[in-house]
Amino acid sequence: MASPIQPPDLTQCQKADVPGGSSPKCCLPSDPVKATDFQIDASLPMRVRMASHLLDAAYITKYNRAYELMRALPDDDPRSFSQQASVHCAFCQSAYLQKNSNEKLQIHFSWLFYPWHRWYLYFHERILAKMLNDDTFALPFWNWDNQAIFSPLPNVIPAVFIEKPALVDNTRAPSHQPPTLVDLTYSGKPGGLDPEQQRAENNNLMHQELVSGAKTPSLFFGQAYRAGDANAPGPGSVERAPHTAVHLWTGGDMGNFGTAGRDPIFYSHHANVDRLWNVWKSLGGRRKDITDPDWLNAEFVFYDENATLIKVKVGDAVSTEKLRYTYQNVPNPWITHISSPLSISIAGTKPVSSNGVASPAAAEATSLLEEIEEFGEEVEGKFKQLAGSAFQSKVKRPVKDLFRTLKKQITDEELEEVLVIQGVEVPSDKISKFDVFINLPDANDKTSINIPEFAGTFVNVPHLGMAPGMNRKATLRIGIGDKLEQLGIKDVSSIVVTLVPKGQGKDVPIVIKGIKIEYE
């Protein structure tokens, strides 16, 4: 039976706590009105979302004026800045239940993350255009993935968000003002890297999360989330990082999902996340939109530029051109980034030492692999708690032929090997992060991620709508086919996976319940 997520009853809003108690509820206007089905307006001009660091003076003036007018609207107007911020708070802090269910509705950590935020920005942008009476207006995107070294720098907080009053948020981290570079691996504590190292780590993270580690729709978008399911089954690659890391790095309101919409830079940040959806699809292979009807037919509601409640489908959001907007072309050099050859895997042929981490000599490789125990797949009652120290596990690779037989439509070249960290549980109200390395058992919190052994990361932004003591539960899935090829170990029967807690949440109790490899 079809079971796409449906819009909630807006008259039934629950309390969602946020920092300081400044907003006891994050609720949309609750008059019981029937939503109007969305109709694409083909008469709208094609809008171009520009990089925020490249805006000219005239556009900056218009951009600031749009937010001045939005902020001047009464708070009970669904188009007002405060109500726009409440939209994100409501659906990321589980202020509503799923329709005909007692399960809370959550738009993070699942395949709904990308399409919900695309629709959210679409209507936010149309409201700003209405304020200006200018249908050509488009939100700029914060081009933090661009590690260019020329001025104006794209990978710092853009000047427009510091100099224009309506675009300022005084809660942002003071230490992260320009010229400090955005840390796409941020976990609550400074990494201590010089600019060259930071750019290299940023590029490697982008390559891993969009190119190497996200070759299939489920790896990019996240886990399936259907009507009646428990929320937040598992995030896609970009949602984990860099998306989440940029929230934490910016700090203040942006550092908590319940308050993120209060900072105008949030919408520019998510415009770049949205742009990356288009970039990812342009890379080819199996990088295509999900075809599952429960994804395409999932529905949300938003208030439009005329304060009319509109019902939308995911399937209507897969093409930005149909929504009458596109993005300025900017370079994406991370697509072809090659990480530094700092180490050789256990199955390699020579020892190497760098960044304070010593990889084992070839003579020790076999015995070391045998000494590391296999944690195994998830079974009831078994778990491992990471709290300040790395954890290593041998992981057996299953027989690929069986999976190739089950997925006859997938060629051997397209069949993706996926590392699955099962039963991840982290405190919902705390920053937490761990990095994942392959065949680098000595990896620690000082290990650079700009090395071939880095496979991916998991980051949690506090969700204060969930009470202290409650845990966020998820499954972490990382594509590793290219990684094994790069390390020269595509034919080995087992690998070693090392999980390394990092940053401010290094000592936060992170629970995992299983580690396995599967094919997709």
CB 112 within 8 A of CB 223: no
Catalytic residue at 270?
Answer: yes
Catalytic residue among 124, 207, 270, 463: 270
Catalytic residue among 53, 176, 207, 243: 243
Label each residue of 206-244 as H, E or C.
HHHHHHHCCCCHHHHHECCCCCCCCCCCCECHHHHHHHH
Catalytic residue among 53, 247, 337, 463: 247
Catalytic residue among 53, 117, 124, 207: 117
What's the CA gap between 204 and 410, in Å, rounded?
A: 28
Contacts by residues 194-202 (CB-CB < 8 Å, ≥ 24 positions apart): 195/149, 197/448, 197/450, 199/147, 199/149, 199/155, 200/340, 200/450, 201/448, 201/449, 201/450, 202/145, 202/147, 202/155, 202/242, 202/334
In 3-state terms the chain splits into helix, strand, coil percentages (rounded to 5) of: 30, 20, 50
Residue type, 279: V
3-class DSSP state for residue 167? helix
CB 342 within 8 A of CB 354: yes
Catalytic residue among 38, 53, 108, 337: 108
Per DSSP bridges, beta strands 325-327 and 47-49 are parallel
Residue 266 parent element (H or E): helix 265-282
Q: Is 29 exposed, middle or buried (0-12, 13-18, 19+ CB in 10 A)?
A: middle
Q: Which two tokens stand for residue 104?
A: 């809370």
Catalytic residue at 88?
Answer: yes
Residue type, 399: V
Angle at 62 between CA 58 and CA 64, to 5 degrees: 115
Q: Is 493 exposed, middle or buried (0-12, 13-18, 19+ CB in 10 A)?
A: exposed
What's the CA gap between 119 and 335, in Å, rounded?
A: 27
CB 53 within 8 A of CB 146: no
Catalytic residue among 53, 88, 124, 463: 88
Q: Is 401 exposed, middle or buried (0-12, 13-18, 19+ CB in 10 A)?
A: exposed
Catalytic residue at 124?
Answer: no
Neighbouring CB atoms inside 10 A of 265's CB total 24
Residue type, 440: L
Nearest one of 25, 32, 28 to 76, comparing CA atoms: 28
Residue type, 324: R
Catalytic residue at 269?
Answer: no
What's the CA gap between 83 and 130, in Å, rounded?
A: 16
What's the CA gap between 342 and 334, in Å, rounded?
A: 18
Q: Which residues contact 495 (CB under 8 A, 6 or more apart)?
A: 394, 395, 397, 438, 439, 484, 489, 517
Catalytic residue at 176?
Answer: no
Catalytic residues: 88, 108, 117, 243, 247, 257, 270
